[in-house]
Chains A and B, each alone.
Chain A
Amino acid sequence: MTAATGRKTKRIRFDEIGGFLANTIEDGDLLAIGGLFKQGRPLALIREVIRQRLTALKIISSPGSGFDVDLLIAAGCVAETFLPAVTLETHMCPSFRRAVEAGTITAHCVDALSVVGGFLAAANGVPFQPVAAWKGSDVIKYNPLIREITCPFTGEKLFATKAIRPKLALLHAQEADEFGNIRHLSTMTYADQMIARSADTVLVSVDRIVPSGDIISRPRETSIPCIYVDAVVEIPFGAHPTGSFPNYSIDEAHIDSYATYAEAARKGSPTGDANLQAYIERHVIAPQDQEGYLTTVGGDTRMEELVAEAQAL
């Protein structure tokens, strides 16, 4: 048997992403981002969020984030973050630092257990997740997602971290069918499965769409079933400049060049802001599609290098 005739596709075209975002998220809403640090981040979708001129967003993610959050902040899309670690690892995140230090965004003090616990509670349909592993840290004193509770069985003092239900989750994976069955080929999938179960609406970009029969032939490899996915869009190199293993590696040079612009802007260099905004114009606003974007970051030549780097691992 194959999929029933008349089954609705969840596949959308690249030029339909803007309309999808307009219908599913508004200024001020909570947006969740999949992947971790420099892997599996849905950067093509993030660029569309910026192109839609969304503002005052609240951002949440798996416990590690960096480039995409910094770019969203530089583009003026963010009011609040609920992010445990924000770093480019080889650098700090310049726009994040600048905005928090200037008081233009609020960076809530949260950790991995509060964020992941919140996703887990929402995914399981319960109001909170208990946490017993916090002691001695100032993060507990300032974390807005948690409350102290008493264990109803032992009387032990512990914490509850409240369910987190993002308005929209943006994820990136390597493959999916048109019905929204997602298959990660990467070894690490981080919190993607949980985020998909916790959000009101889920949009996933994938490097390629595969036939439904291919998914059905290897169901244990479906990492996120279609029932948790609202739309899927094929975007080759859609995670660039982050990596989408085993297909292509991380474009560290591109992330470094962004960091140089953002750091100069943070330090108040006379041309800093103009150069950072020119970066956004060149790589985010001007390109009309993914092909147009890829030509701004080195085109086929650079993509082939990133493919080769991933294959050599």
Chain B
Amino acid sequence: MMTTRSADHAPDYSPAEMQAVFLSRDLTDGELGAAGASAAIPMAAMLLARLRHAPNLSIAGEMFVNPYPKQLWSSMLDDRALGACEAAETFLELFAHSHRGLDFFFHNGMQIDQYGNINLHHIGGTIDAPVMRGPGAANISYAVTSRRFYICTTVHTKRTFVPKVDFITSPGYLQGPESYHAAGLQYGPKYCVTPLAVMDFDPETFRMRLKSVHEGISVDHVIAQTDFELLVPEHVEITDPPAPNELQLLRDVVDPKGLLRS
């Protein structure tokens, strides 16, 4: 069994493109969604879905409705990406957006645990005396009020995929069904999409479960890069690779500068 991506069978698309294409397929026509900071892959997924199969998808964060960026940017919250949009709002609208929630949102994390909890605050120590202080997060309410969210990360290592996060910035399924229900949570992460694989969550235990590995990646490699016991079903599919028309739209229209390939 291969342990890493093999050079002579390297796919003709990047891991980030695979992630964007996978996520775009899961977005449904008519839905309302958004992404936060450092969100090139989620924004690509939404723009691709809007072009390909979901013309009535609305992209609306706290301050903007339906942006039309000419290219992807490493930051998607300034006028480079949002300058052309259907409505420019302000943070006055934050409360309405946050309390009404969205159909879907995207989160990333410095640490992600087996229940899909996300940490962007600190690793080691305490929040008041951290060994490593992270950036924090702007809107933590979307994890609670949005009907589902996706965890999308550009790294899949043991350092990122830990048994228990040091700090819960945005809640996933907390410590499992009991704590999740006790906290009054109703929604949660649907998929965790990484450069190596797609994970979902076991409906009984709420623990993270391998769903598919990307082309050229072995199950053993994903297990080796994960510092908790990943649930692995008997048959693990290969993530359906980007179709030619998906890649073409992604590269010609959504990401003409190739940010997802850099």
Give the interface of A toward B (CB within 8 A). 36-39, 62-64, 83-87, 89-90, 92-93, 96-97, 100-101, 103, 106-107, 109-113, 116-117, 119-120, 129, 131-139, 142, 186-194, 243, 245-246, 249-250, 310, 313
Contact B77 A37 (CB under 8 A): yes
A106 vs B145: C-alpha distance when bound (angstroms): 30
- Would you call A109 and B136 a contact (CB within 8 A)? yes
User: What 15 additional pairs, Cβ within 8 angstroms, besides A137-B144, A190-B91?
Assistant: A36-B78, A39-B77, A87-B37, A90-B38, A90-B74, A90-B75, A100-B133, A119-B91, A136-B144, A137-B169, A139-B137, A139-B169, A189-B90, A190-B90, A191-B91
How far apart sit A211 and B230, CA to CA, in the bound complex (Å)?
Answer: 65
When the two chains form their complex, are residues A101 and B136 in contact, meaning their CB atoms are under 8 A apart? no
Given contacts A64-B37, A111-B137, A313-B83, contact A142 B91 (CB under 8 A): no
User: Do A133 and B136 touch across chains, with their CB atoms under 8 A apart?
Assistant: no
* Chain B residue with Cβ nearest A313: B83
A-B contact pairs, 9 of them (CB 8 A): A62-B91, A63-B138, A85-B138, A111-B140, A133-B141, A137-B144, A138-B167, A190-B91, A310-B79
Give min CB distance, B242 to chain A, whole Å: 25
Q: Are A116 and B127 in contact (CB under 8 A)?
A: no
- Residues of B at the A interface (CB closer than 8 Å) are 37-38, 62-64, 70, 74-75, 77-80, 82-85, 88, 90-92, 94-95, 98-99, 101, 120-121, 127-141, 143-145, 167-171, 174, 180, 183-185
Q: Are B92 and A194 within 8 A (Cβ)?
A: yes
Residues A38 and B75 in contact, CB atoms below 8 Å apart: yes
Say yes or no: A313-B79 contact (C-beta < 8 A), given A84-B137, A133-B145, A138-B169.
yes
Chain B residue, CB-CB nearest to A93: B135
Docked complex Cα distance between A310 and B78 (Å): 12
Q: With both chains docked as a complex, state the minimum distance between the C-beta of A17 and any C-beta of chain B, in angstroms.
A: 25
A187 to B87, CA, bound (A): 9
A33 to chain B, nearest CB (A): 14
With contacts A93-B135, A112-B94, A188-B64 known, is A245 near B127, CB below 8 A? no
Residue of A nearest to B139 (CB): A112
Tell me, rounded to whole Å, the shortest Cβ–Cβ distance linking A130 to chain B: 9
Measured CB to CB, the closest approach of chain A to B167, in angstroms, equals: 5
Measured between alpha carbons, how far is A93 from B169 in the docked complex, in Å?
Answer: 18
CB distance B131 to A137 under 8 Å?
no
